[in-house]
């Protein structure tokens, strides 16, 4: 083999060797690059896992705090329900008793010949039309027919008020201990129509006086026929029968005309049961306090949810 051929062979072998060295270096470099990328991925994955754990713990803390607030809210709601259960039950019993009372009075009045008696169950009113107790315009005196009807009304009221009174005069020490629904007050309410003298100021003054006088005269006539009604007392030992005048401020109808005015000139009997006044301001305050606390807890829960969304990112 000639020297030229040897030199050519050596040159090709060197080139092949350099090529493989370059390929090896490149593969090693790529391997290192892959290892570096794998390490970066592992680090990022670990960081992501740590972030997920942090977010999970943060959200769990928010959930736990919300759960505590929810439990507190449920406790307060149960307390509100317990607070109002007694008054609601007492009011329901009183409403049922008053409905029976009104129905009993109406049927007894009709049996006595007092017709066109209306009942307003929602407000506890027995409405006596002008046919039952008639007053002439601008007059408060009872005519003979009205006196006769008032005497019948008194005879109906006496046994019913006795049945629903807490006690009687002379035994007032036992009034507060009466159990069950009893009468607090029976108002004899006088009403006028909106007519009268031309001057509105004087007309208003006259109608207030007129309505009160009509109620008072009816009251006196009832007691004259059934004086025992003075003895019946509520739980506070106060006389049950009372009077009130409302002028033309509570009309049955706002229409004008003699028939409508006659409807508005009337006497109402308003029955107020004890349960309607026994549960008063203290119960309302207790319920209001609990309601305010519940509202604050709910607002705090909403605030926690908003804070948790920002804090746990």
| Predicted confidence (pLDDT) per residue in 190-236, tens digit | 988 778 777 788 888 989 999 999 999 999 999 999 999 999 999 88
What pLDDT band is residue 252 in, cutting at 50, 70 and 90? Answer: confident
Q: Which residue has the higher pLDDT, 149 or 265?
A: 149
Contacts of residue 80, Cβ cutoff 8 Å, sequence gap at least 6: 287, 290, 291, 294
Average pLDDT of every residue of the chain: 78
User: For residue 194, is it within any domain?
Assistant: yes
Stretch 83-110: mean pLDDT: 85
Q: What's the structural domain count of the chain?
A: 1
What pLDDT band is residue 46 in, cutting at 50, 70 and 90? Answer: low
Instruction: List the CATH number of the domain containing 121.
Output: 3.30.1330.60
Q: Which of 110-124, 130-144, 215-229 has the highest mean pLDDT?
A: 215-229
User: For residue 77, is it within any domain?
Assistant: no
Can you tell me the distance from the alpha carbon of 62 to that of 58, in angstroms, rounded to the nearest whole number?
6
User: For residue 159, is it within any domain?
Assistant: yes
Can you tell me the distance from the alpha carbon of 45 to that of 56, in angstroms, rounded to the nearest whole number?
16
Task: Give me the pLDDT at residue 176, please.
Answer: 66
> What backbone torsions phi and psi does residue 35 show, to the nearest 5 degrees?
-60, -45
Lowest mean pLDDT among 102-106, 125-129, 219-223, 283-287: 283-287
Task: Give me the pLDDT at residue 229, please.
Answer: 94
Smallest Cα–Cα separation from 291: which of 86, 91, 84? Answer: 84
Task: Give me the pLDDT at residue 6, please.
Answer: 44
Given a cut of 80, whether residue 23 has pLDDT beyond it is: no
Rg (CA), the chain: 45
What pLDDT band is residue 102 in, cutting at 50, 70 and 90? Answer: very high
User: For residue 100, is it within any domain?
Assistant: no
User: For residue 225, is it within any domain?
Assistant: yes
Q: Which of 5-19, 204-218, 250-264, 268-282 has the highest mean pLDDT?
A: 204-218
Q: Which residue has the higher pLDDT, 202 or 8?
A: 202
User: For residue 211, is it within any domain?
Assistant: yes
User: For residue 41, is it within any domain?
Assistant: no
Can you tell me the distance from the alpha carbon of 149 to that of 306, in angstroms, rounded to the nearest whole number?
72
What pLDDT band is residue 4 in, cutting at 50, 70 and 90? Answer: very low
Q: What are the pLDDT digits (tens) for 148-190? A: 999 999 999 999 999 999 888 766 666 766 667 889 999 999 9
What percent of the chain has a predicted confidence (pLDDT) above 90? 28
User: For residue 34, is it within any domain?
Assistant: no
pTM: 0.65
The secondary element (H helix, E strand) that includes residue 156 is helix 144-163
What range defines the domain where residue 265 resides?
112-279
């Amino acid at each position: 083999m000639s020297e030229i051929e040897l030199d050519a062979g050596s040159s090709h072998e060197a080139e092949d060797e350099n090529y493989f060295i370059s390929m090896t270096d490149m593969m090693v470099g790529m391997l290192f690059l892959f290892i570096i990328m794998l390490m970066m991925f592992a680090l990022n994955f670990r960081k992501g896992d740590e972030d997920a754990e942090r977010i999970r713990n943060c959200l769990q803390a928010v959930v736990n705090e919300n759960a505590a607030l929810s439990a507190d809210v449920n406790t307060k709601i149960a307390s509100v329900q317990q607070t109002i259960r007694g008054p609601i039950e007492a009011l329901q019993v009183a409403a049922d008793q008053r409905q029976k009372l009104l129905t009993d009075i109406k049927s007894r009045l009709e049996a006595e010949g007092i017709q066109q008696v209306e009942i307003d169950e929602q407000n506890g009113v027995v409405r006596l039309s002008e046919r039952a107790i008639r007053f002439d315009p601008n007059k408060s005196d009872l005519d003979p027919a009205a006196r006769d009807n008032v005497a019948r009304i008194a005879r109906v009221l006496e046994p019913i008020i006795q049945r629903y009174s807490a006690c009687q005069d002379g035994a007032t020490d036992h009034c507060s201990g009466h159990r069950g629904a009893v009468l607090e007050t029976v108002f004899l309410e006088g009403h006028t129509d909106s007519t009268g003298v031309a001057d509105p100021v004087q007309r208003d003054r006259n109608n207030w006086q007129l309505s009160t006088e009509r109620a008072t005269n009816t009251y006196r006539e009832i007691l004259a026929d059934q004086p025992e009604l003075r003895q019946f007392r509520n739980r506070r030992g106060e006389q049950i029968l009372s009077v009130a005048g409302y002028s033309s401020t509570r009309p049955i109808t706002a229409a004008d005309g003699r028939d409508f005015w006659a409807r508005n000139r009337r006497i109402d009997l308003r029955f107020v049961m004890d349960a309607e006044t026994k549960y008063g301001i203290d119960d309302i305050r207790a319920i209001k306090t609990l309601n305010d606390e519940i509202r604050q807890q709910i607002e705090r829960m909403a605030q926690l949810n908003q804070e948790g969304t920002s804090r746990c990112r």
